[in-house]
Structure formats: structure tokens, C-alpha cells
Amino acid sequence: MPTDWADFGVDLHLELDATGGRRAGLERALRDAIRDGRLPPATRLPATRALAAELGLSRGTVSAAYDQLVAEGWLVARIGAGTEVSGLRRAAPPPAAPPPGPPTFRYDLRPGSPDVGLFPVTAWLRATRRALAVAPAEAYGYGDPRGRPELRRALAGYLGRARGVLADPERIVVTTGYVQALVLLTGVLRDAGTPTVAMEDPGLAFHREVVRRHGGTVLPLPVDGLGARTDLLGAGPLAGVGAAVVTPAHQFPSGVTLHPARRHALAEWARATGGLVVEDDYDGEFRYDRQPVGAVQGTAPEQVAYVGTAAKTLGPALRLAWLVLPARLVEPVVEAKRHLDLHTETIGQLALAELIDGHGYDRQVRTVRRRYRQRRDLLLDRLRGRSPVAGVAAGLHATVHLRPGGPTEAEVLAAAAARGLAVGGLAPHRHDPAGGPPGLVVGYAHPPAHAYPAAVDLLAAVLEDLDA
């Protein structure tokens, strides 16, 4: 009867060297696997009959090898429980020294990450169960590069209702995070012969590097108290840019909202030149002291590629973001996505669609918005009278301006680090680190709620001591 390889209960890969006999070769192979750590303590070995059939040996040869290794202490045989690797410690080469990691701090007030402890575990589990209970079998196969239709339909409704986005599900592409969306757009612009991109100054340095690494050329787009200087697009050094990446709802790191006149200038530049506006709706759902500001995309859908993400509302671990594209970009972006990673994972998409359709996503946004509002208010209270704080009407961070003639940005960061506190500085976000006044960028999404007051008190103490 031929061997049925599908029915082996425990898979065990061994390379046998029969020099000196088959039994000796099996013993050496098992010893090497245990010594190397490929068979850790308590690993259950296949039954002698099964291993003999898999290796083409007699059952007696396997039984004899097992008995020898039991006698030597490598294996343990228990009646009714089979044979397993013993728990004795084996001599092994010392592990390689790990690479040096980033410095550790008691408190971390750097921006860029949400409070991951606020992830709605219970609601997500319910949404996942409901979604999988009705998902068609084809959902578990290779999918459409644009993403699951359930999520694209849910996003179209949500974005239209909550952000004023004109979103046709056929123009939505689900991506593996914001960075992948930026990579896709950079590649499409590069292939179209328009690789020069204007990016806000100051802005996130990592995003500038992403564009450069994927064939784009980055030019600074200055930011002032009214937001990005979109009135400069199409002239001077910015005359030939093919795209402008902006954060209109809540600029990072200044925190300002793009002025209506600047929004109008942005859309007009794109219409007149055929340029592309890449709208990063950073922190778009988090507003505290003002009415929500709708997306620029709603006023110019054929000129704007809108990018949203679940990283701040739910958590970065989901790796789910979305592009709402002008009609002319749908096909090239879909093709780029197809050749980049084929499609974004499906289970999370189905769960997020269910969470949105069941209004659990809205509840989550309201919950975290309320929590972050409380932390922002605490930050303002603790720093009142010490340093001017800006950009706090929305978002998950604030900008703390340092007074002229006072401590430098580097001195504040060093003093904070010496006391176990990490905060962000403004300089690394500028295209030219020395190109503006000093300041701090303080996030209030973490540390966790129980540690946040102590972290803010420590920041206030550092600033007070340096001003003394």
C-alpha cells in the first residue's frame, strides 16, 4: 500500500547521513536537531511507525535510535504520552550580541503614535466574528488590488458623511498604511515624468525620505500661521512641481489648519497645471475647539488624491489606509499596487467594514477624541504661563514655542532626556534644521492615561528649571 503523506500527525524534517549505518545516522540527525535548538525541550516526536515510514527505515531501526537517545538523556519516553525531547540544558554557542537599541525613557511625549491601549478589542472581536460569519469563500483567496468591496463601500459612505469626501467605491484603493499610499503615488508620478513633489516645511522627515527613495525629488513648501504657502505653487522654485503633499486639517508639526484662501489657491493651481494634490488627512477626525474642517478633496475630486488611515483612530498594527483617487489615477495606482504586494490583507478589511457599517468606528472616534481632549487640556493647564503652545484646536500633538534668548531646542531636549523624558523637537522636521525658531513637538496620545500627568509635570519642571 503506498504511503499517504497527508496523514502524518507530526512533521519532522531530518537530513540523514547513513555513513556508519542508518541507525547511527538517525541518532546523529536527532542529536544535531536538539543541540541546534530546532527541536526545543518538550517537543513531541513522531511515533516510531510514522517516522520509519517517512524516512524509509524499518520500525526497529527507529525504535533502537529512540532507545539510545533516551539512554543518553536526549529524549524522554513516557507510557501513553510518546517520546519527546528532554528538558536538560545543552551546551550551545553564546547568542550574538543584539544591536544597540534606542534609548529608553521613563516617559515618552514624542508625537506620531496613538495610545494603543485604547484599541477597541471587544468591538473588534465582535466585528471580526460577524464579518467572517457572512464572508464568501472567495474572500479568503487572492483579492482585488483595490481592496475588498465591503470595505470600499463602507469607506465611501463614512468619508462622505464624516469628512466631506466625494468617494466612489471604484476609485478607492485600500493600502497597507499611509507610507504605501505615498510610495504608490510617488511611483505613478515618476513614471508619468513628473517626479518633483512639494512637501510642507516643516513636515515629517520620514515621508520626505520615502518620496526620495522611490524616485521623487522633494522641494520645500513653506508653512506659516495660515498653513502651507500654496500661493507659491506654480512660480519660482515651485514652478515645475508635479504634486504637492499637504495636511490641510491639522498640519504636522505646526498644528495649523489650512486657511480657506490657501485651500482655494491649492485647488486652482492643480486645475491650471494638471498637478496633483496629495491630501494627507492627518488627525482629521480629532478636533476639539472648532467645527470639523472638510477635506479639500470634496471641492476638487479630480485634482486631489485623498489619503486616510486607521492608524490613529484604531492602531498602526492594523496596517490599513485608503486612497480616494481622481479617475485618471485609478488604473495606474491599481497596477502599481498589483505589482507591489498584490493586495492588502483581507481579514482586517472585512472587520473594519463591519465596524464602520455597525457605527462602532464612530463610537471609537468619539471615545478617543474625548480622551485626547482631556490630555490636551491637562497639557495646556500645566504649561500655562511658561511657554506659548500652538496648534491645539485639533490633532494629537501640540507645538511648544521656546522664547527667544532662552534655552535652545537642543538644551531642552538634553535636559528632558537626562530626567528620563522624551519629547520631540521642531528642527528635525524642517528641510533645513537650522531654518527656523526653536520649539518642541509634544504628543498627548501617550504615555498611557495613568502616566500622562506625571509626564506633563516633568516637562513643565524641565522648562521651569531652564528658565530659572
Q: Are 431 and 201 in contact (CB under 8 A)?
A: yes
pLDDT digits (tens, 9 = 90+) for 306-332: 999 999 999 999 999 999 999 999 999
Query: Residue 372 and residue 369: Cα distance in Å, rounded?
Result: 5
**What pLDDT is recorded for position 5?**
44
pLDDT digits (tens, 9 = 90+) for 224-254: 999 999 999 999 999 999 999 999 999 999 9
Per-residue DSSP letter, 419: T
> How many CA within 13 A on the CB side of residue 225?
1
H or E segment to which residue 222 belongs: strand 217-224
9 burial class (0-12, 13-18, 19+ CB within 10 angstroms)? exposed
Query: Residue 303 and residue 182: Cα distance in Å, rounded?
Result: 16
pLDDT digits (tens, 9 = 90+) for 371-421: 999 999 999 999 987 788 998 988 999 999 998 888 999 999 999 999 999
Q: Which regions of the chain are under pLDDT 50?
A: 1, 3, 5-8
Q: What are the residue ranges of CATH 1.10.10.10 in the chain?
A: 12-85
Q: What are the residue ranges of CATH 3.40.640.10 in the chain?
A: 120-362
Q: Which CATH number fits domain 12-85: 3.40.50.620, 3.40.50.11740, 1.20.120.1770, 1.10.10.10?
A: 1.10.10.10
pLDDT digits (tens, 9 = 90+) for 28-38: 999 988 988 88
Query: Residue 30 and residue 26: Cα distance in Å, rounded?
Result: 6
**What pLDDT is recorded for position 1?**
45
pTM here is 0.87
235 burial class (0-12, 13-18, 19+ CB within 10 angstroms)? exposed
Determine the Cα angle at 239 with ends 236 and 240, to 5°. Answer: 140
Name the architecture of domain 107-113+364-467. Alpha-Beta Complex (3.90)
Q: Which fold has domain 120-362?
A: Aspartate Aminotransferase; domain 2 (3.40.640)
**What pLDDT is recorded for position 92?**
56
**In 333-438, at which residue ranges do the beta strands (DSSP E only) sit?**
389-390, 397-401, 421-422, 424-425
In sequence order, which residues have a C-beta less than 8 Å from that of residue 409 and are 6 or more positions away? Answer: 402, 425, 426, 427, 438, 439, 440
Query: Residue 283 and residue 308: Cα distance in Å, rounded?
Result: 9
Query: How far is the CA of 29 from the CAs of 16, 39, 84, 384, 401, in angstroms?
Result: 6, 11, 15, 70, 66
**What pLDDT is recorded for position 100?**
73
Query: Residue 65 and residue 131: Cα distance in Å, rounded?
Result: 50
Q: What are the residue ranges of CATH 3.90.1150.10 in the chain?
A: 107-113+364-467
CB-CB neighbours of 396 under 10 Å: 24
Closest C-alpha among 465, 463, 464, 459 to residue 106? 459
Query: Residue 248 and residue 392: Cα distance in Å, rounded?
Result: 15
